Structures are given as structure tokens and as C-alpha cells.
A = this chain, B = another copy of it.
Amino acid sequence: MNFLSVILFSLSLSVCLAKQLPKHEDKCHNLLGDELIAEILSYEKVKDEILNYVLQGDFKGQTYDQLAKFVDKFGARPSGSEVLERSIDYMIELTREEDINDIVTEELEVPHWVRGEEKITMLEPRVKDISLLGLGRSASTPPEGITAEVIVFENYDQLDKALDEDVRGKIVLYDPIFTTYSETNQYRTQGATKAAAKGAVASLVRSIAPFSINSPHTGSQTYGDEANKIPTAAITLEDADLIRRMYDRGENIVLNIKMSSTLDTKVSRNTIIDLKGSVHPEKLVIVSGHIDSWDVGQGAMDDGGGLFISWAAPVILKRLNLIPKRTVRSIFWTAEELGLVGAYAYEEAHRNESHNINFIMESDEGTFAPLGLIVAGTDKARCIVAEVLKLFESINASTLIEDDSPGSDISVIIKTGIPGASLHNENEKYFWFHHTEGDTMNVESPEELDLGAAFWTAVAYIIADISVDIPR
């Protein structure tokens, strides 16, 4: 999951709750009419068939087991790596075994940033190792490292007010307390550029997380065009708090930072799997997740879970011989973590046929128990989705949250005016594990993945099968 995806999450939740009043019901009823509402309700039986197959039938536990086999076999799958390409080949083979053969891959150039040695040693006021993870695309230090004093800022406002001469030659530590990801991750994504503009020699950021067991969280950052590319890394909440306490006591803090990495480009692939529609094969309902991951952890949560429920959708429909009128397309995006690179390439390559995308879905904020969808689109589009979601009250997945930019990769498509949704799920602990060594199968649950796969598949089927297109 990248930084675009959580923007306005809390805000939109309250907006949604306000809109889910009877007035909203009336509005939807007027927009949709009795007939369409009745038609959507008539999918109750097929929805039950899908839920039963996944929650109690032959598919029970399969999403978790397949995800575990995949994650255990490949581990981390960073952009530009060979292991990412092998994992793509594996997913194609796994899909072919289901006798689904409408599979294409589309090549694109992706960043290939490879982490080398990373070490921070506090030299003053006492010697201590500081846990870190370099941020994506960070520059290296000289081999002997950078040794300098630390200056601490809670926010950009404090940095802006500081005298250049007080920052020059120093290591900047940003220490923003986590509120929401969208509010705090700016210190990770732009911190180095802003610190360099004041003459800092390196920048560190408090990991963008609400909880830690001394866990550093990596993530993307980009240098501004004019920026002096200073090395930049995330440190743990614990070490950030330690340094801040020392700083507040007036102690002189000196660190040595050693970091090395390489950056070039490689070719990777988006993977596109179609379960062709019976009536309008050209029309697409897309489900998706990204197959690349950070180089730390195992990429089980971000985004192995989203990848596998999106893999499961055409597979489950094929096994149940449920072929909707429109095509259900499953996309495995590549190189999401270094800037939605696969999604941008797809959008560009498919721009002239974008009118065929009926609805686009993505799961990249965890596959904990599903709660509903975070939906972008017109009022009528949202009303249709809201009616579909009513079918999922039995699994507590009927909540519709309005957000004009849901998801991460799909935000690239949605901003061109196409309606879509990301998975709303019980992901309160998502940022405990996000972009850390702790992103492993231990975060995933067989029961929650079953619920997610069943929900994802049934929603995609119904939207792909109903008599009306999702309006724009």
C-alpha cells in the first residue's frame, strides 16, 4: 500500500455515516428505481452459493494456504528483482492450473533500488546502535559514513522557522507523532528534500506507525528535482523518542550513519487475467492487488492478501461455473511500492479503451475481516454499490464509505473518471506491520482471508452481471 490510499479515510468515514441516514435511502431509491433494486436483491442466491463454497465448501482455507505457499516460496518481491519476476511466472502457472488461460503480461520499466549495508551508531551522549531502514531510492553515504549532530523537528513548520545556520551540516530527525498515515507520511516522502534545502547532511524520520517493538518501517521517498540527494532513513519510535528526550534535555547528540544502496531500472510486468464475460466480454470489472513488495518482511499483508483475493475471484467463479455477462479481470500490479509504476503504465497503455472499464476494485490496505467498500463514483454509482453491499449483512460487510480517491494503484485509473472501490476491512493494526520485517503470514488469518475472498468474488460477480453499467 502506498501513501495515496489512506487520504481522508477518517474524514470520509464520518461523511459516510452522516449520509447513511434515511434521506440517503430515499435518494438511492429515487435514483435506482424499484426494478433495479429488486434485480440486485435477486443476487442473494448466487451470493450465498459463493459464500458457502468459500466459507464452508471446497475453497475453505484455500486462499490462506495458497498465499502461504507463495509467500514461503518467494518471500520479499521488490521492484526490479528476479524473485519478483519468478513470482509472477508462478502466479501465471497457478492460474493456468485452474484452466483459466486468458492471461497476458505487459512489460514496463521499473525502478530497482537495492539496499546494502545500513548502520547508525549513536556516538554522543553514549554509544548505542540505532535500528534503521533506509527509505526507497535513498542515496548512499561515503564508506566511512556521515558523522554529525542531530537537530529534531516535530513538523515542517518548526523546520521552516529554524535558521539555516542551525540546520546546516546537521542530521535532521523528523519526529511527528502518528495520527493518520496520510497526515504523517509526508515526513517520510519529502523529508530529505526539505532538510537538504536547509543544508542538512542527512535526514531521519520517526517510523510512520502507531506501535512498535523496536520496528523500523521503510517506504518510498522522492528527491525533488533540485534537491541535494542526502541519505535518508526511518528509525524506530523507541529510538526517536530516546533522541527527542535527550534533545529536550539539551544533550548533544552525535550519530554516524552508514548506508549503501544501488539504483537502476529493470523490466517487470503487470499481469492481466480475464474470465471472459458471456454477453459483453469487452466490458471489464477489475479486481486487483500488487504483487511486488518491500524488500523487508515477506509481503504477506502488503500486498499478498490483496493479490490472492484478486487471484481467487476468477478462480472461484470458474470453479462454480458462474460466468457473468461482463468480463471479470484480475490485475496483479507491479512496482506499486516505488510509486504506482505498474498502474501508471497500465493506464497509459489502455487509455484508448478506458471506456470499457465498468468498475475497478483494489485490495491494498490489508485483508483482515471485510467490512464493505470504500467507493468513488457518482451518486448513482454509489447507490448501486450500496444496494449490492446490503446483500453482505450476514458477514457484516455492508458498509459503504465514500472517498473520491480510494486505493493506491487504482487511484491512477479512478482520477480519470472511472468508478471504483477499495476493500474496507478491520485493518486497525495494519500500520503496526506495514513496510517492516513483521509483514509475514502471521498477520494473516485463514478465516479472514476466506471472508475477503468470498466477499470480493461475489461483489465482482454481481457488478459484472447486473443489467446496467455502473454509471460515470
Within 8 A of B (CB), among A182-221: 212-215
Instruction: Report yes or no: B128 in contact with A438, Cβ–Cβ below 8 A.
Output: no
Number of identical protomers? 2
Select which of B74, B128, B213, B437 is within 8 A of A75 by beta carbon.
B128
Minimum CB–CB distance for A272 against chain B, Å: 28
Select which of B73, B213, B241, B433 is within 8 A of A432 by beta carbon.
B213
Select which of B125, B128, B213, B246 is within 8 A of A215 by beta carbon.
B213
| A125 closest partner in B (C-beta) | B73
Contact with B along A330-373 (1 / 0, CB 8 A): 00000000000000000000000000000000000000000000
Instruction: Report yes or no: A242 in contact with B131, Cβ–Cβ below 8 A.
Output: no
Also in contact, A213 and B246, with CB within 8 A (given A75-B128, A126-B73, A128-B75) = no
How far does the alpha carbon of A375 sit from the alpha carbon of B69 in the complex, in Å?
49
How far does the alpha carbon of A463 sit from the alpha carbon of B238 in the complex, in Å?
38
Minimum CB–CB distance for A196 against chain B, Å: 29
The reply to whether the CB of A297 lies closer than 8 angstroms to some CB of chain B is: yes
Instruction: Report yes or no: A433 in contact with B246, Cβ–Cβ below 8 A.
Output: no
The reply to whether the CB of A245 lies closer than 8 angstroms to some CB of chain B is: yes
Instruction: Report yes or no: A213 in contact with B437, Cβ–Cβ below 8 A.
Output: yes
How far does the alpha carbon of A125 sit from the alpha carbon of B75 in the complex, in Å?
12
| A433 closest partner in B (C-beta) | B213
Contact with B along A420-447 (1 / 0, CB 8 A): 0000000000001100111011100000
Minimum CB–CB distance for A161 against chain B, Å: 27
Contact with B along A440-462 (1 / 0, CB 8 A): 11100000000000000000000
Contact with B along A222-250 (1 / 0, CB 8 A): 00000000000000011001100110010
Instruction: Report yes or no: A238 in contact with B73, Cβ–Cβ below 8 A.
Output: no
Instruction: Report yes or no: A440 in contact with B242, Cβ–Cβ below 8 A.
Output: yes
Contact with B along A124-168 (1 / 0, CB 8 A): 011010010000000000000000000000000000000000000
Also in contact, A72 and B245, with CB within 8 A (given A238-B438, A238-B442, A438-B238) = yes
Instruction: Report yes or no: A214 in contact with B72, Cβ–Cβ below 8 A.
Output: no
Minimum CB–CB distance for A265 against chain B, Å: 24
Contact with B along A49-75 (1 / 0, CB 8 A): 000000000000000000011001111
| A129 closest partner in B (C-beta) | B437
State the 8 A-B residue pairs at the shortest beta-carbon distance, nearest first: A213-B438, A214-B437, A238-B440, A214-B438, A213-B213, A213-B215, A238-B442, A72-B245
Beyond A131-B437, A212-B438, A213-B213, 17 additional pairs, beta carbon < 8 A: A68-B245, A69-B249, A72-B242, A72-B245, A72-B246, A75-B126, A213-B432, A213-B437, A213-B438, A214-B436, A214-B437, A214-B440, A238-B298, A238-B441, A238-B442, A242-B298, A242-B441
